[in-house]
Structure 1
Amino acid sequence: MGQLTGRTALITGASSGIGRAAAQRFVAEGARVYVTGRRSEALEESVRELGDQAIAVPNDVSDLDDIDALFARIAADAARLDIVFANAGGGDADQPLHSLTPEAFDRTFGTNVRGTVFTVQRALPILNDGASIVLVGSSSARRGTAGFGVYSATKAAVRQFGRVWAAELAPRGVRVNTVVPGPTDTPGLRGLAGNPEQADEFVGRLAGSTPLGRAADPAEIADAVLFLASSQSSFITGSELFVDGGEVQVYP
């Protein structure tokens, strides 16, 4: 018996990185997992690896029609959710105020905030009482890093939504928590480097911002997500769990 045996989960942004690692961890613990992502080919590859306990639903969380189609698919399976890991998100590495465009602003807020809000909202009718919702923050929301204003603002917004939802959903026993990764060696992070030749240097530079002196493996973040999703965290809600190698707590 795994920690999630008999439970059904939704993980958005599960084509790669933290989402994919969380899907692997959830399946290993016995969950049935709906996984979503914009890149259909990568998503299908992930599902082939995960096996029969995973169901792929291509989805762009910034598109409300896609979100509605996702939940229509889950409802058609007569499934109810015990876990929602609202992981889909992203942003550009360099969006300083002087060159920020409305398109870049809308793209980042559309995915990170709008996508998270309406994914969770649309999940509510099929969310079991006592379920767990896990959001994704960022250590950048605690820092004034040049060029990261829009991205860090989206993650600060997600954090505040998590607090409010914890209060709103408490009567149903639904817990809402935020996992806060530090630098994590994912394809998404490496993509911010601009080109593959610079990726190792870019990740290494970010890793140097942590007391542990390295970037996280996505599986390490997935372990923290599992904790927040499982009954081991049954008396935790409205919280932030920092999985950042000490970046924010030691080097504030």
Structure 2
Amino acid sequence: MDTEREPVRVVIVDDDQLVRMALRLVIDGEPDLAVVAEAADGNAAITVADEQRPDVVLMDVRMPGRDGLSATRELLTRPAPPRVLVLTTFDSDDLVLGALRAGALGFVLKDTPPPRILDAVRTVAEGNPVLSPAATARVIAAATGPYSSAARGSAREAARKKLSALTERELDTARAVADGLGNPQIAERLHISVATVKAHTSSLFAKLAVENRVQIALLVRDAEE
């Protein structure tokens, strides 16, 4: 890694002071990462993020007062928002999908070994999604398992309404993103340039009101259920 770069600026949000202290020790021990602030709840997270303008917010979910999902949604309305990595002890379907729909770029459990948490922070800082194996299993189960027909129909209708605003090429790009393809692979599939793929992807972010490729994939999945 290029040690000439400025360290990735991290804010830790957790209501447990011991957890914050442990994470700070682990993160500050890395030359390419730096903790610039801590917060104990969602409201404080928004305040310190506005003050510090971090690259990554390491966000707990369940906290007194404002929870992490609500705070994530609020943070991502800011100009040039931070990337959010959810770090929690809970891995229920609702929390995993809720975090991703809120705009979090990653979801990692607190019992994840420290080196993997550090790798997750770096990955998210670069704008790439990351899910712990347990969270990945939850997403797959949610995508393939049953849930109420009413909930399925509501999600399908909302997703299709959003996707209806896309051009045919943008929709093709969204489907390719949902298939997990990177820009070069999308360009090859659609027989267009990588620059055109990037332009379509930027348009997807704007038209679908999403912050990352994970949210695009979730919308496509919902629309095709």
TM tier relative to shorter chain: 0.3 to 0.5
TM-score scaled by length of structure 1: 0.41
TM-score scaled by length of structure 2: 0.45
Question: Which structure has the higher relative contact order (CA within 8 Å, separation 6+)?
Answer: 1
